[in-house]
């Protein structure tokens, strides 16, 4: 049975005292749930703090990005092996904010997927269409292009050790959540596209939904058959909201 997960993406939020409080509150309240995993992807400077605070807890931690390179003259970049030094389990790859604000492409997502796997990290690869693409009826074409680029870059076997996140760009940080039906259709399409390359890998692949998930809509979204959990931005910054979303996953 494929795993279910809730992963927080803190984005560029936090300062030392507030992150300490948030980590402690999550650690104190979260208990292990069979078949479920919980994690937070924190800004790079807080990885040591997360590792220290969360070791031995039911909450794993990870990063929001990594370099496609393993080492070298790449000023400002952070490698997968550096993330492993802080016992990261996950690295987000190809988030739409990296794509739209930092010029990342399908090619870089494929390269970063490979870099994460080489370092023993579990990549959480984000795909999703913009509002204009959805309105043009291009949602499936965009998802197909993004998935095919991953398959071409790293082969379908890479997805056996990865997670995907369907994150419609129009839903991220906007308060406009995809309906459970819209999410289910996109997730089923993604799974079907991968199944064409390897049905067993597709069946085992966890696909998270991301885009304005809140405690009020999480349960309905997580009840869809191809939605295996969530990637949570804004609502992961308040302990009560994030814990309620984790509880919604546990009760599915
Ligand atoms: C995200 O940043 O991945 C995200 C889903 O953000 P939000 O939940 O705030 O829409």
User: Domains in the chain, ordered, with CATH?
Assistant: 62-236 (3.20.20.70)
Q: What are phi and psi of 45, to 5 degrees?
A: -65, -15
* Ligand 1: centre distance to CA 167 (Å): 8
**Is 95 one of the annotated active-site residues of the chain?**
yes
Is 252's pLDDT higher than 80?
no
Atom of ligand 1 nearest to the CA of 171: 10
Q: What pLDDT sits at residue 245?
A: 98
- Own/partner contacts of 187-191, CB < 8 Å, gap of 24 or more, are 187/224, 187/226, 187/227, 188/226, 189/139, 189/140, 189/143, 189/144, 190/127, 190/143, 190/147, 190/164, 190/166, 190/226, 191/226
Instruction: Indicate which residue's Cα is closest to atom 7 of ligand 1.
Output: 233
Choose one of 5, 11, 166 to mutate for the ligand 1 pocket test, by most ligand atoms within 8 angstroms of C-beta: 11
CA distance 153 to 156: 9
pLDDT tens for each residue of 180-209: 999 999 999 999 999 999 999 999 999 999
Instruction: Indicate which residue's Cα is closest to atom 6 of ligand 1.
Output: 233
* Ligand 1: centre distance to CA 10 (Å): 9
When pLDDT is averaged across residues 7-33 and rounded to a whole number, the result is 97
Q: What pLDDT sits at residue 1?
A: 72
pLDDT tens for each residue of 97-153: 999 999 999 999 999 999 999 999 999 999 999 999 999 999 999 999 999 999 999
> 60: closest CA among 42, 78, 85?
42
Atom of ligand 1 nearest to the CA of 167: 5
Beta strands (DSSP E) in 153-234 are 163-166, 207-210, 229-232
* Ligand 1: centre distance to CA 214 (Å): 10
Is 154's pLDDT higher than 80?
yes
The rounded mean pLDDT for the chain is 97
Spatial contact of 227 and 207, defined as CB atoms under 8 Å apart: yes
Atom of ligand 1 nearest to the CA of 230: 5
0.95 surpassed by pTM: yes
pLDDT tens for each residue of 56-77: 999 999 999 999 999 999 999 9
172-206: b or e for each residue (b if 16 or more CB lie within 10 Å)? Answer: beeeebbebebbbbbbbbbbebbbeebeebbeebb
When pLDDT is averaged across residues 207-214 and rounded to a whole number, the result is 98
Choose one of 5, 6, 7, 9 to mutate for the ligand 1 pocket test, by most ligand atoms within 8 angstroms of C-beta: 9
Spatial contact of 193 and 212, defined as CB atoms under 8 Å apart: no
Q: How many Cα atoms are found within 13 Å in the side-chain-facing hemisphere of 199?
A: 0
In this structure, what token pair is assigned to residue 147?
A: 């998935």
Q: What pLDDT sits at residue 251?
A: 87
CA distance 165 to 146: 12
When pLDDT is averaged across residues 212-222 and rounded to a whole number, the result is 97
Catalytic, out of 68, 97, 129, 167: 167
Ligand 1 neighbours by CB, cut-off 6 Å: 9, 11, 167, 172-173, 210-213, 231-235
Spatial contact of 242 and 235, defined as CB atoms under 8 Å apart: yes
């Amino acid at each position: 049975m494929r795993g279910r997960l809730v992963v927080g993406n803190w984005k560029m939020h936090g300062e030392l005292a507030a992150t300490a409080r948030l980590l402690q509150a999550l650690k104190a309240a979260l208990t292990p749930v069979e078949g479920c995993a919980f994690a937070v992807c924190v800004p790079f400077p807080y990885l040591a703090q997360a590792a220290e605070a969360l070791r031995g807890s039911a909450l794993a931690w990870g990063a929001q990005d990594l370099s496609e390179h393993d080492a070298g003259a790449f000023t400002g970049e952070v490698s997968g092996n550096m993330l492993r030094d802080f016992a990261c389990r996950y690295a987000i790859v190809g988030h739409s904010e990296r794509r739209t604000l930092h010029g990342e492409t399908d090619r870089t997502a494929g390269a970063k997927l490979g870099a994460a796997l080489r370092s023993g990290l579990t990549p959480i690869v984000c795909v999703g269409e913009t509002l204009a693409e959805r309105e043009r009826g291009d949602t499936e074409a965009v998802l197909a292009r993004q998935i095919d680029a991953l398959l071409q870059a790293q082969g379908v076997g890479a997805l056996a050790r990865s997670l995907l996140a369907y994150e419609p760009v129009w839903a991220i940080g906007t308060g406009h959540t995809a309906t459970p039906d819209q999410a289910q259709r996109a997730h089923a399409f993604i799974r079907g596209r991968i199944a064409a390359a390897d049905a067993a890998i597709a069946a085992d692949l966890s696909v998270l939904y991301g885009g304005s998930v809140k405690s009020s809509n999480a349960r309905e979204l997580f009840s869809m058959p191809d939605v295996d959990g969530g990637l949570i931005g804004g609502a992961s910054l308040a302990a009560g909201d994030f814990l309620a979303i984790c509880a919604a996953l546990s009760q599915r």
